[in-house]
Amino acid sequence: MKELVKPLKTYKGYEIHPLIYPRGARDGGAAVRAADTGYEASVRIRRAPPAGEEATGESRVFRIEQTGSFENGGQARRACLLHAEKLIDGQIDGQTVADL
């Protein structure tokens, strides 16, 4: 299957794909606007393919743990990039991308 979404960043041979979504709050059965509830984030990481080749390898999604929501998408995106870099560098206990 051809990858349609380009990674936001490539870091040390890994593609980083931030996944930003409105916080899942509901109010009386109606969805609350993201601007009112904030955003949550995860990051998908996989090995970057050699230049000129399609990405075909496995990926893994890591949720960005935070006590509250991110105020905006930019803040969530920056947190994804920082988390991914730390994860790739082996600085987060219990999470690894070494087997990708």
Nearest in space to 20 (alpha carbons), one of 68, 59, 78, 67: 78
Q: Are 81 and 8 in contact (CB under 8 A)?
A: yes
Count of Cβ atoms closer than 10 Å to residue 90 Cβ: 11
How confident is the model at residue 21, as a pLDDT? Answer: 86
How confident is the model at residue 78, as a pLDDT? Answer: 95
pLDDT tens digit at each of 100 positions of the chain: 444 467 789 999 999 999 998 876 445 444 555 556 788 999 999 999 887 777 777 899 999 988 888 999 899 999 999 999 999 999 999 999 988 8
How confident is the model at residue 15, as a pLDDT? Answer: 94
Burial 2-30 (b: 16+ CB within 10 A, else e): eeeeebeeebeebbbbbbbebeeeeeeee
